[in-house]
Amino acid sequence: MPDQPCGFLVLDKPAGLTSHACVARVRRAYKLKRVGHGGTLDPAVTGVLPLALGSATRLLPYLEGDKTYRGLVQLGVRTVSDDLEGEVLARAAVPALEAGDLAAALAAFRGKIQQVPPQVSAVHVDGQRAYKRVRQGEQLELAARPVTVHRLELLGWDPVSGALEVEVACSAGTYIRALARDLGEALGCGGALARLRRTGALGFDLEQAVPLAYLDQLPLPPLLDPLAALAHLPRRQLAEAEQVDWRCGRAIGQILPLENGQAVVVLSQDGNLAGMARARGEGLLQPKLVFNAAG
């Protein structure tokens, strides 16, 4: 892989910064233009922000999309943004609830569900971000979208404050703010997200994350090997006779049975990452991303 440095850096994003600002910090620290992030975090949200540096930016579409969070939901309040950062629309008394009541309510939000994104979100509406239109005074009717909540667990409940802590594992595109809103509606008192921390994204977790302050000191944090980020995908190592065909963008044999369209990590003869392919008919792998391509 020609570009150096090249790999992944996982930041533990602090509250108050945009994901774009974190990317800018990494660009300056590593003196690189090619830096991309995998999944935007709202400024108030902390936690796992995976960043790809150098040629690793081209691998972002092949990483796992699921994410995990720990959040605090405040019942008894509705806001324009579905979190406590937004303007309060209404307040209501929180009914007497036991942990069992909350567990039963949470059950309805597990699995494949239809979710309406928050009004203040990055969803496109007629070519413009929803949050921009809301700031201009519009009231939007956003369409529900399919998302998957793999796990939704109650971690704690404070009946005095009306706040509950939850852990969520979900598909890309799931809004935890919307979950807080909808849970509050289901309980009849409204709800908003009070605090959120992302604990996992794109196959990375908090154990791999480094504080933003580490970018201000030397040596800079070492980058994670791209192959580690692709461990969830099947691999195909090139034989010596296949190296030229691969570098020229020609299809190679699958060897293993694969579903049509399956992404595959392709390794050079020496075990380094040579690129990415997708399985196609006739038992072939079609190159989609070739590092060190010929010509």
Which sequence positions are flagged as catalytic?
Answer: 42
Q: Phi-psi region for residue 130, left (φ > 0), alpha (ψ -120 to 50) or beta?
A: alpha
Strands (E), 14-138: 35-37, 46-53, 67-75, 77-79, 88-91, 111-115, 124-125, 128-129
Rounded Cα distance between 177 and 179, Å, is 5
User: Does residue 219 have a cis peptide bond before it, meaning omega lies within 30 degrees of 0?
Assistant: yes
At 192, the amino acid letter reads A
Q: How open is the CA angle 22-26-27, to the nearest 5 degrees?
A: 115
At 70, the amino acid letter reads R
Task: Classify burial at 260, counting beta carbons within 10 Å of its beta carbon; exposed 0-12, middle 13-18, buried 19 or more.
Answer: exposed
